[in-house]
Structure 1
Amino acid sequence: MNSSMIGKIEKAHRYAKEPERVRLSCVEATFQGAHDEYQIRLKDGHWTCSCHTFTSHAVGTCSHVMALQQMLARMLPDSLRYDTDADTPAAVAVAAAR
């Protein structure tokens, strides 16, 4: 392996330890929930999930979206992260449930 490629691999390892360098704008994932598989998407600044809770409740989130937001938090802009301190319908619903 040439020295140029070795340098690229070392740089990739350093970058991998700094996920905050990446800003995700689109995400599509399959989430294995407790009862079924769900499709989660982040597109045009909005999260969606195929689960019943997300599609039938007005809170605008679900446990699958919140879990993915926590997993990806360092790579998401603040506006797309789950924040229990924010004055959003989801945060209000979560706070009320406590």
Structure 2
Amino acid sequence: MQSSLIGKIEKAHRYAQEPDRISFTELSVQFRGENDIHSTALKNGEWHCNCDFFVTWGRCCHTMAMEKILGEMLPEEARVTKF
């Protein structure tokens, strides 16, 4: 293996231990809930979900789970729920 590739692999491992280097601006996922699959997205710092609960409340278990999973990688305005 080339030494330059080894260096990049080592850097990747170090970066993976420093999630504060990453900030999501947009993200779209299919979230398999208990009753259905939901389209959940982060766009311009705002969460969106196609579940009925989100339409009424502006947040739901799908967006809150994504907040918890992504944590500090989210922009401040997307960190709605305090865990």
What TM-score, normalized to structure 2? Answer: 0.91
Q: Does 1:52 align with 2:45?
A: no
In the alignment, what sits opposite 2:35? 35
Given that 1:70 and 1:82 are in contact with CA atoms closer than 8 Å, whether structure 2 keeps it comes out as no
Q: Does 1:11 align with 2:11?
A: yes
Deviation at 1:79, TM superposition (A): 1.4
Q: Which has the higher contact order (CA 8 A, sep 6+)?
A: 2
| d(CA) in 1 for partners of 2:7, 2:74 | 28
Identity %: 45
Corresponding residue SS for 1:53: helix
Given that 1:54 and 1:62 are in contact with CA atoms closer than 8 Å, whether structure 2 keeps it comes out as yes
Q: How many residues align?
A: 83
Corresponding residue SS for 1:31: strand
* Cα separation, partners in 2 of 1:77 and 1:44, compared to 1, 3 Å: closer
For structure 2, which runs of at least 5 residues remain unmatched after alignment? none
| 20-29 or 43-52, which deviates more | 43-52
Amino acid at match of 2:82: T
In the alignment, what sits opposite 2:25? 25
Structure with the largest fraction of strand: 2
* Cα separation, partners in 2 of 1:84 and 1:12, compared to 1, 3 Å: closer
- Across the aligned residues of Structure 1 and Structure 2, the Cα RMSD in angstroms comes to 1.4
* Ranges of 4+ aligned residues in structure 1 off by more than 6 Å: none
| d(CA) in 1 for partners of 2:40, 2:62 | 8
For structure 1, which runs of at least 5 residues remain unmatched after alignment? 86-98
In the alignment, what sits opposite 2:73? 75
